[in-house]
């Protein structure tokens, strides 16, 4: 995948160069735009809404983990405080309870992280598909011949249409009633 991407960028750059030469020979202008995909992903209102929904979705589980961590910390403090007066059996039982609770906290944290990452990736995939459609619609509606996103090493502000696409995304988001 990493080998294909640089080759694809080189191929597109070569085609753009050839296309621009052939068009200049015909005295036609080529309209080229550059979109900063990471900036759109970060600043689009759709992204903020999706991330806020994820936070809401996972908030109950996060509270559960915090409660279990507090329970573990309280139990640990109690055991440390009472260790000197505990009998052998009581001490072993307390240490076993601590280990069991620590395992449960670790399991909850691991499951939480895995589930959150899975859902975040799902939402980011949906957002990327939506963003691509928005860029394509904007480019077609604005008469662009080529819009380049990932892989651009330099782009002048004259061809960077990221802000325009972001404004269009915000307008479409507002129009959709969100």
> What stretches of the chain show up as alpha helix (H) in DSSP?
4-25, 37-43, 45-82, 88-141, 162-175
Q: pTM, whole model, 2 decimals?
A: 0.66
Checking 135-144 for CB contacts under 8 A at 24+ apart, the result is 135/35, 135/40, 135/165, 137/168, 138/164, 138/165, 138/168, 139/33, 142/31, 142/33, 143/31, 144/31, 144/32, 144/33
- Give the domain 31-175 fold: Protein Binding, DinI Protein; Chain A (3.30.910)
Parse the chain into domains and list their residue ranges: 1-30, 31-175
| pLDDT tens-digit profile, the chain (178 residues) | 444 455 555 555 554 555 554 444 444 677 888 888 888 888 999 999 999 999 999 999 999 999 999 999 999 999 889 888 888 899 899 999 999 999 999 999 999 999 999 999 999 999 989 988 888 888 888 887 888 887 554 556 777 888 899 999 999 999 988 7
């Amino acid at each position: 995948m990493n080998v294909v991407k640089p080759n694809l960028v080189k191929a597109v750059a070569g085609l753009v160069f050839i296309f621009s030469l052939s068009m200049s020979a015909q005295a036609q202008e080529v309209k080229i735009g550059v979109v900063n995909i990471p900036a759109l992903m970060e600043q689009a209102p759709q992204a903020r809404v999706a991330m806020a929904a994820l936070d809401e979705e996972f908030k109950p589980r996060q509270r559960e983990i915090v409660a279990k961590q507090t329970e573990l910390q309280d139990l640990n403090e109690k055991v440390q405080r009472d260790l000197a007066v505990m009998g052998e059996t009581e001490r072993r039982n307390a240490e076993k309870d601590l280990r069991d609770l620590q395992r449960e906290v670790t399991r909850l944290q691991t499951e939480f992280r895995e589930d959150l990452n899975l859902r975040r990736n799902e939402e980011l995939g949906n957002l990327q598909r939506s963003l691509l459609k928005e860029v394509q619609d904007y480019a077609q509606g604005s008469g662009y011949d080529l819009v380049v996103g990932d892989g651009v090493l330099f782009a002048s502000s004259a061809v960077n249409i990221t802000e325009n696409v972001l404004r269009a995304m915000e307008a479409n988001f507002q129009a959709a009633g969100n």
